[in-house]
Structure 1
Amino acid sequence: MEEQVWQLSNPLLGIFFIIVTFVLFYVVGYISNRQSKTVQDLYVAGGGVGPITNGLAMASTYMSLATFLGVTALILRLQVPFILVWIQMVLAIPLITIIYGVCLRRMGAFSPTHFIRDRYGKTASIIAALWMILVCLMYALGQMIGIAVTFETLLGIPYMTGLLVGGLIIVGYVTIGGMSGATNNAAIQMVIIALMFIVPLAAIMKAMGSSGWFFPPLLYADMVPAMLEAFPTFFDYQFSVKWYFALIPAFTIGALGLPHLAMRIYTASSLKSARSAMIWFAFIIGLVFSATYTMGFAGVYFEQSTGIVIADADTDKLTIILNMVYNPEWVTALVIAGAISAGLSTISGNLLAIGALISQDIVTTLKPNLSTKARVRLGYFSIAMGGVVSILLAINPPAFLVVSILWAFGLAGVTNAPLIIMGVWWKEANRYGAIAASFIGGIVYVVVSPFVFPSIVIGGHELTDGMGISGSMFAVPLSFILLIGISYITNRIPSLNDIAIRDEVNKLVEKIHGWDVVNPKRYNSNVGAFIALAACFIVMIWALVPWDF
Structure 2
Amino acid sequence: MAEQAWQLSNPLLGIAAIIATFLLFYVVGYISNRNSKSVQDLYVAGASVGPLTNGLAMASTYMSLATFLGITALILKLQVPFIILWIQLILAIPLITIIYGTCLRRMGAFSPTHFIRERYGVSASIIAALFMILVSIMYALGQMIGIALAFETVLGIPYMTGLIVGGLIIVGYITLGGMAGATNNAAIQMVIMALMFIVPLGAIMKAVGGSGWYFPPLLYADMVPSMLEAMPGFFDYQYSPKWYFSIIPALTIGALGLPHLAMRIYTASSLKSARSAMVWFAFILGLVFSATYAMGFVGVFATESQGIVISDADADKLTLILNLVYNPEWVTALVIAGAISAGLSTLSGNLLAIGALLSQDIVTTLKPNLTNKMRVRLGYIAIFFGGIVSILLAINPPAFLVVSILWAFGLAGVTNAPLILMGVWWKEANRIGAISASVIGGLLYIVVSPFVFPSIVLTGHGITDGMGLSGAMLAVPVSFILLIVVSYVTNRIPALKGKLTPEADEALVERIHGWNDVQPYRYNSKLGAAVTVIFCTVIAIWAILPWNM
Q: Secondary structure at the match of 2:404?
A: coil
Compute the displacement of 1:149 (Å). 2.3
Q: Which has the higher mean CA deviation after the structures are superposed, 166-175 or 260-269?
A: 166-175
The answer on 1:307 being equivalent to 2:307 is yes
User: Secondary structure in 2 aligned to 1:109?
Assistant: coil
1:331-410 map, 5 Å: 331-396=331-396, 403-410=403-410
Deviations 1:461-506 (A, max 9, x none): 1111111101111100000000000000000012124449511101
Deviation at 1:110, TM superposition (A): 1.2
Q: How far off is 1:262 after superposition?
A: 0.5
CA distance in 1, matches of 2:548, 2:501: 47
Distance 2:63 2:119 in 1: 31
Matched, 1:484 2:458: no
Of 366-375 and 285-294, more deviation after overlay is shown by 366-375
The CA distance in 1 between the partners of 2:456 and 2:161, in whole Å, is 38
Relative to structure 1, is the Cα distance of residues 18 and 394 closer, same or farther in structure 2, using a 3 angstrom cutoff? same
Check conservation: 1:198, 1:291, Cα contact below 8 A: yes
Separation (CA, whole Å) in 2 of partners of 1:118 and 1:400: 38
2: CA distance between counterparts of 1:260 and 1:497? 36
| In 2, Cα distance between equivalents of 1:542 and 1:398 | 28
Q: Secondary structure at the match of 2:211?
A: coil
Q: Which residue of 2 aligns with 1:177?
A: 177
Does structure 2 conserve the Cα–Cα contact (< 8 Å) formed by 1:400 and 1:452?
Answer: no
Distance 2:25 2:58 in 1: 17
Q: Which residue of 2 aligns with 1:108?
A: 108
- For 1:194-213, list aligned pairs within 5 A: 194-213=194-213
Matched, 1:287 2:296: no
Task: Indicate the residue corresponding to 1:190 in structure 2.
Answer: 190
Aligned residues of 1:141 and 1:402 also touching (Cα < 8 A)? no
CA deviation digits over 1:51-99, x for unaligned, max 9? 1101100110011111111111110111110000000000000000011
Kept in 1, the 8 Å contact 2:136–2:351? The answer is yes
Aligned residue identity for 1:7: Q
Aligned equivalents of 1:165, 1:287: Cα separation in 2: 32
Query: Quick one: distance in 1 between partners of 2:78 and 2:420?
Result: 32
CA–CA distance in 2 between the matches of 1:404 and 1:130?
17
Query: Is the CA contact 1:6–1:154 (under 8 Å) kept in the aligned structure 2?
Result: no
- Cα shift readout 1:110-139 (whole Å, capped 9, x = no counterpart): 111110011001111111100010011111
Question: Do the aligned partners of 1:459 and 1:471 also contact (CA within 8 Å) in 2?
Answer: no
| Contact 2:256–2:417 under 8 Å retained in 1 | yes
Distance 1:171 1:306 in 2: 40
Is contact 1:43-1:179 (8 Å) kept? yes
Alignment of 1:70-219 (within 5 A): 70-219=70-219
**What is the identity, as a one-letter code, of the residue corresponding to 1:532?**
T
- Provide TM-score, normalisation by structure 1: 0.97
Structure 1 residue 177: Cα displacement: 1.1
Residue 249 of structure 1: aligned partner: 249
Supply the distance in 1 between the matched residues of 2:454 and 2:58 (Cα, whole angstroms): 35
Q: One-letter code of the match for 1:36?
A: S
Equivalents in 2 of 1:420, 1:151: separation in Å?
A: 39
Stretch of structure 1 that moved more, 243-252 or 454-463:
454-463
- Distance between the aligned counterparts of 1:352 and 1:241, measured in 2? 38
- SS of the aligned residue for 1:99 comes to helix
Q: Which amino acid aligns with 1:318?
A: L
Q: Is the 1:138–1:402 Cα contact (8 Å) retained in structure 2? A: no
Deviation track 1:423-450 (CA, whole Å, cap 9, x = no partner) reads 0000000000000000000000011112
Match of 1:451, SS? coil
1:511 deviation in Å? 1.3
Other structure's SS at 1:117 match = helix
2:68 match: secondary structure: helix
In the other structure, the counterpart of 1:511 is 511
Instruction: Tell me the residue number matched to 2:527.
Output: 527
- Contact 1:400 1:451 survives alignment (8 Å): no
Partner of 1:321: 321
**Offset of 1:5 from its aligned partner?**
2.2
2:373 is paired with a residue of what secondary structure?
helix
Which residue of structure 2 aligns with residue 49 of structure 1? 49
Over residues 21-67 of structure 1, what are the superposed CA-to-partner deviations in whole Å (9 max), with x where a residue is unaligned? Answer: 00000100111111111111111111111111011001100111111
Does 2:231 correspond to 1:231? yes
Letter of the aligned partner of 1:133 in structure 2? I
Structure 2 letter corresponding to 1:202:
G
Number of the residue aligned with 1:23: 23
Bigger mean CA offset, 154-163 vs 218-227 = 154-163
3-state secondary structure, aligned to 2:495? helix
Deviation at 1:460, TM superposition (A): 2.4
- How far residue 307 of structure 1 moved from its aligned partner, in angstroms, is 2.7
Residue type matched to 1:119 in 2?
Answer: R
- Give the whole-Å Cα distance in 2 for the aligned partners of 1:263 and 1:239: 35
Which range moves more in the overlay, 378-387 or 416-425? 378-387
Question: Does structure 1 retain, via aligned residues, the 8 Å contact 2:449–2:457?
Answer: yes
The amino acid of 1:527's aligned partner reads L
The CA deviation string for residues 342-389 of structure 1, in whole angstroms up to 9 with x for no partner, is 110010000000000001110111111222222111111211221122
C-alpha distance in 2 between matches for 1:36 and 1:497: 45
Shift of 1:399: 8.5
Q: Which residue of 2 aligns with 1:66?
A: 66
Work out the CA distance in 2 between the residues paired with 1:90 and 1:399.
24
Q: Distance in 1 between matches of 2:216 and 2:398?
A: 37
**Identity fraction in percent:** 79
Q: Secondary structure at the match of 1:496?
A: coil
Letter in 1 for 2:541: I
**Deviates further, 495-504 or 31-40:** 495-504
SS in 2 for 1:222: helix
Matched residue type, 2:409: F
Q: Structure 1 unaligned runs (5+)?
A: none
Specify the alignment match of 1:3 in structure 2. 3
Compute the displacement of 1:543 (Å): 0.7
Distance in 2, matches of 1:426 and 1:510, equals: 10
What is residue 542 of structure 2 aligned with on the other side?
542
Indicate if the aligned counterparts of 2:17 and 2:337 stay in contact, CA closer than 8 A: yes
Secondary structure at 2:389's aligned position in 1? helix
Q: Given residue 455 of structure 2, which amino acid in structure 1 is its aligned partner? A: S
| Corresponding residue of 1:412 | 412
**Larger displacement relative to structure 2 (189-198 or 504-513):** 504-513
Q: Which amino acid aligns with 2:524?
A: N
| TM-score after normalising by structure 2 | 0.97
Separation (CA, whole Å) in 2 of partners of 1:403 and 1:323: 24
Number of corresponding residues:
549
What's the CA shift for 1:400? 12
Give the match's secondary structure for 1:370. Answer: coil
Q: Cα–Cα, structure 1 residues 402 and 272, in superposed 2: closer, same or farther, change >3 Å?
A: closer
Query: Any conservation in 2 of the 1:68–1:339 contact (CA below 8 Å)?
Result: yes
1:404-483 superposed matches below 5 A: 404-483=404-483
